[in-house]
A and B are shown apart, each in its own frame.
Chain A
Amino acid sequence: MTIDWPHFSPLHALTGGALIGLASVMLMLLHGRIAGISGILGGLLAGLLGDSSKPEVLWRLAFLLGLLYAPLLYRQWEVVGPIHVEAGNGTLVAAGLLVGFGTRLAGGCTSGHGICGLSRLSIRSLVAVCAFMAAGFVTVGVVRHLLA
């Protein structure tokens, strides 16, 4: 294994990670909700299709707007991006469908199972994290090294 040192920034990783953890703790402590992005999105979708009450839609919308606004605010202080996407449109659509369907079926993603679940010491979330990471490792291995 060769480490990609030029793209590895431990200080940014730990600072950014701590902020993500802080936001997740704040949402639970202040509002009693789990900061799982796929769950918040899925619940919003259900709400907009008429399955849940107005307050359920409101808090989800507020959280997601904060997430969307983050790069615009951060841009005032520092350069953000550009971000690098290798996948073409067809792959992006397939990937999006898989992520949307898969996270709802599994009841969580990198935030809900990954950060919040592991922080709650949930075995179910630990299993989910191992499964999606293993699938991610295999997928990138196949796409980058077997098919390329």
Chain B
Amino acid sequence: MRSVSVFLCGLVFGIGLIVSGMADPANVIGFLDLAGLWNPQLALVMAGAVAVGLAGFALARRRTHPLLAGAEGTMHWPTATRVDRRLMLGSVLFGVGWGLAGFCPGPALVGVGLGNGDAVVFTVAMLAGMFLHRKLAPHLPG
């Protein structure tokens, strides 16, 4: 029951990515290409998502337990607030990769679902990058 509900959340998220056009890297690159033909699509997608998110998260903040996780369930709100070197360096590296391919993690997985070979290549490399981070994280400076 819970897994079905989580599955549906992922499904709605993915359909949102497709409807919004964000599953297509060409639209993402179009947004990042300020010097060329600029496509504002991504900014409006973020605005639509954050508008719903602001209202919904304000509502969720009032709860001590998630609706479907039972009394033992907790709201896993992120606790990190520090702006540090890891946040900055990680975000810049992510942004460079995002600009190179036009894929970020969500759309890449939707591309895999579409059976797109490029999305598969990107996703395998992305998983390798995550694995690499696991191995290196303990040795990186804060």
Alpha-carbon gap, A31 to B9, bound state (A): 10
A119:B53 contact, CB within 8 angstroms: yes
Q: Which residues on B sit within 8 Å (CB–CB) of A111?
A: 13, 104-106
B103 smallest CB distance to A (angstroms): 7
Let me know if B96 is at the binding interface, CB within 8 A. Answer: yes
Alpha-carbon gap, A82 to B116, bound state (A): 9
Q: Which residues on A sit within 8 Å (CB–CB) of B12?
A: 19, 22-23, 26, 66
Let me know if B59 is at the binding interface, CB within 8 A. Answer: yes
Give the secondary structure class of B's interface: helix
CB contact between A67 and one of B4, B19, B113, B122 (< 8 Å): that residue: B113
Interface Cβ pair total, 8 Å cutoff: 503
**Residue total for A at the interface (Cβ-Cβ under 8 A):** 112
A66:B10 contact, CB within 8 angstroms: yes
B73 smallest CB distance to A (angstroms): 6
Alpha-carbon gap, A58 to B25, bound state (A): 29
CB contact between A24 and one of B24, B30, B56 (< 8 Å): that residue: B56
Query: What's the interface size class on B, roughly?
Result: 35 or more
B126:A100 contact, CB within 8 angstroms: yes
B21:A23 contact, CB within 8 angstroms: no
Alpha-carbon gap, A94 to B38, bound state (A): 25
A100 smallest CB distance to B (angstroms): 2
- Which residue numbers of B lie inside 8 Å of A, CB to CB? 2-27, 29-30, 32-42, 44-57, 59-60, 63, 65-69, 73-78, 80-83, 86-106, 108-114, 116, 118-119, 121-134, 137, 140
Known: A70-B15, A91-B101. 17 other contacts (CB 8 A): A2-B37, A8-B41, A17-B47, A22-B12, A23-B13, A25-B57, A33-B66, A69-B11, A74-B18, A92-B118, A95-B125, A97-B125, A103-B105, A131-B91, A132-B91, A144-B29, A144-B36
- Which residue numbers of A lie inside 8 Å of B, CB to CB? 1-4, 7-10, 12-35, 37-38, 41-42, 45-46, 49, 58-59, 62-74, 80-87, 89, 91-107, 109-111, 113-124, 127-129, 131-141, 143-145
29 CB contacts below 8 A, A to B, read A3-B39, A4-B37, A12-B21, A13-B20, A18-B48, A19-B16, A25-B57, A26-B8, A31-B2, A32-B75, A37-B104, A38-B105, A66-B14, A68-B113, A70-B15, A71-B18, A86-B26, A92-B118, A94-B100, A97-B129, A99-B103, A103-B94, A105-B89, A110-B106, A115-B46, A116-B57, A119-B54, A131-B88, A133-B32
